[in-house]
Amino acid sequence: MINIEVIQGDITKLKVDAIVNAANCSLLGGGGVDGAIHRAAGPELLQACIPLNGCETGKAKITPGFKLPAKFVIHTPGPVYRDGLHGEPELLESCYKSCLALAEEKNCETVAFPAISTGVYGYPWKEATEIAVKTVRNFPAKNVKKVIFCCFSTEMEKIYRDVFKCA
């Protein structure tokens, strides 16, 4: 069973095996956590992403962490939220599963996730958090021992703590 921790902080500062990037489909950088990860990792991250030829929503691809304290960056484009009736929940769940599968493949023991799709992609915070917690809890991990949900704001941290207590 995966040990889960909820923190408020900067995901780019975490010394873990892998951090997850809430990327866009191009994988070439963007705003929010994506931009922060690209800035902190340095220009080598962009160079490593170019030959990956992007990534489909709900899937994941992995690169080295370069200047980050994390060994790897797992990039996953989350769904843009419309109304929850266009496959968004399944796609968001797939993001978490795809990231954990790549972490398993690379023998990562510690993985940190941001709140995927909850920024400019507009996913309602509580619903996204419920999917994240449930998916990680139910993932049949062999190598991954600990997942950190790293929240940018204290408001998001509170939602994660509330959902975690009830889940």
CA distance 60 to 97: 9
pLDDT (tens digit per residue) in 111-140: 999 999 999 999 999 999 999 999 999 999
| pLDDT on residue 166 | 78
**What is the structure's pLDDT at 84?**
96
Task: Check if the beta carbon of residue 123 is closer than 8 Å to that of residue 79.
Answer: yes
Phi, psi (5° rounding) for residue 80? Answer: -80, 125
What is the CB neighbour count within 10 angstroms for residue 98? 19
What integer pLDDT is reported at residue 167 of this predicted model?
66
* CATH code of the region 3-166: 3.40.220.10
154-166 and 125-138 helices cross at what angle (nearest 10)? 50
More confident residue, 3 or 166: 3
Catalytic residue positions?
A: 34
Cα-based angle 133, 115, 93 (whole degrees, multiple of 5): 50
The domain ranges of the chain are 3-166
Scanning the chain, the segments in alpha helix (DSSP H) are: 32-41, 43-49, 88-105, 125-138, 154-166
Residue range 53-71, pLDDT digits in tens:
999 999 999 999 999 999 9
pTM for this prediction:
0.97
pLDDT at 47 over 90: yes
Instruction: Please state, rounded to an integer, the average pLDDT across all residues of the chain.
Output: 97
Q: Does residue 17 register a pLDDT over 90? A: yes
